[in-house]
Amino acid sequence: MSEPLVIIGNGMATMRLVEELSQRSLGRYAIAVIGEEPRLAYNRVLLSSVLAREVSRGDVELKSRDWYRAHGVSLIYGQRVTAIDADAHRVKLANGGTLPFNKLVLATGSKPIRLNVPGMDLPGVLTFRDLGDVDSIENAALRNRKAVVIGGGLLGLEAAYGLAKAGVQVSVIHLMDRLMERQLDARASALLKAAVEAKGIAVHLNGETAAIKGAQRAQAVLLKDGREIAADLVIVAAGIRANAELAQSAGLEVGRGIVVGDHMQTGKAGIYAIGECAEHRGISYGLVEPAYEQARVLASHLCGGDARYDGSVLATNLKVSGVSVFSAGDFIGAAGTEQIVLSDPGLGSYKKLVIADGKLVGAVLFGDTADGLWYLDLIRSGASIDAMRDDLMFGRALAERALPKELAA
């Protein structure tokens, strides 16, 4: 008899976990996936491409219904879990039904932060986090021609890019002094700002939102320094918060997310958490790659292996507003590190490598990111780069040509 394994959440972390389990478990688990969204799991990284009409909604689906059936996975979507009874090993659904479990995985993701300022509940104020939000933004964009995006991080810039491609006049307001400050250093961010503005998107830095103004619906965004930016559509992309209320009501420890150990297990036996809802060693990761790493570790653990999760080297490898960017590790450069910089503003290309104790510890690339994943491998491995230091900046092909044959990959 297969053990009942219930996974709450049907996003990218869940899909990777199910794939890993299908390769390892050999029928050990009867897997049931419960998703609140009324659709199959999809690639959230491509949300802006859907908004910009560069890809269709069908293109972002991760697996078909037939795939779930072929792998013996029961899929319940468009259904919310309302409670977890950890002692009775059952989950309760919004329709009144219940499901038993021997093992339970919480992959509930995160939700967008809505700022605590006046006017946030006005019609015309939306968030950008899922395909439902894309639908709402598309419908609103048909009626409104001036949009303000609050948040100059990845999601905010992606929303702005999609709206601009749809012909909407867009302004971005960002609290910090540079865009994507968590992923880019000052010079790369300045290049990104120029690239975003070249697409007709206005960028307002050091902008703290004081209120959304409007009588019956959003009409403008007021900043604390007195600036006022007209808008009949406001998209809030000011950060995310772990979806952890369900776990908290079940008596699980919750900090910034659902607290887990190195096997992704919570404080209650048989209950685990992965992805954006999880907090490991005080860190909640908001990126896809750590979620995938956590899924691999959990699949190994559930199938009797002893893989452990030690945390992730943060890396970003994306196309933002049509421009390729990459960063990994300590890309700012802590005290005592060395920095190598290659910049060609004419080509819109910028590279910075950060070195410490003969090892690559960080990198940020703008424009030309072809060698980003190779740099990431070097950072994660902690291997010495002394033998190829002179050529490291010029990419893998040249750097490895300088290595002795026995050291080349």
CATH of the domain at 337: 3.30.390.30
Residue 223's CATH number = 3.50.50.60
In a domain, 206, yes or no: yes
Indicate if 36 and 88 belong to the same structural domain.
yes
Does any domain span residue 283? yes
Which domain, by its residues, includes 372? Answer: 322-401
> pLDDT, tens digit, for every residue of 322-364?
889 999 999 999 999 999 999 998 888 999 999 999 999 999 9
Same domain? 271 vs 181? no
Contact present, 311 and 284 (Cβ < 8 Å): no
Q: Structure tokens of 309? A: 């999760």
- Are residues 278 and 112 in contact, defined by beta-carbon separation less than 8 angstroms? no
In the chain, what percentage of residues exceed pLDDT 90? Answer: 86
With CA atoms as reference, report the closest residue to 166 among 194, 143, 192, 138: 138
What is the band of 257 on the pLDDT scale with cuts at 50, 70, 90? very high
| List of E strands, 167-322 | 169-173, 202-204, 209-213, 220-223, 228-230, 233-236, 240-242, 258-260, 271-273, 278-280, 315-320
Which pLDDT score, from 0 to 100, does residue 374 have? 96
In tens, the pLDDT along 214-256 reads 999 999 999 999 999 999 999 999 999 999 999 999 999 999 9
- Indicate whether 278 and 193 sit together in one domain: no
How many domains does the chain fold into?
Answer: 3
Q: Are β-strands 169-173 and 240-242 bridged in parallel, bridged antiparallel, or unpaired?
A: unpaired
Domain assignment present for residue 316? The answer is no
Taking only the tens place, the pLDDT of each residue in 75-95 is 999 999 999 999 999 999 999
Query: Last residue of a domain, which of 254, 270, 302?
Result: 302
Same domain, 330 and 296: no
Predicted confidence band at 402 (pLDDT cuts at 50, 70, 90)? low
Confirm whether 270 is domain-assigned. yes
pLDDT of residue 404: 58
Asked if residue 408 belongs to a domain, the reply is no
Same domain, 11 and 64: yes
Give pTM, 2 decimals.
0.92
Q: What is the DSSP letter of 194?
A: H
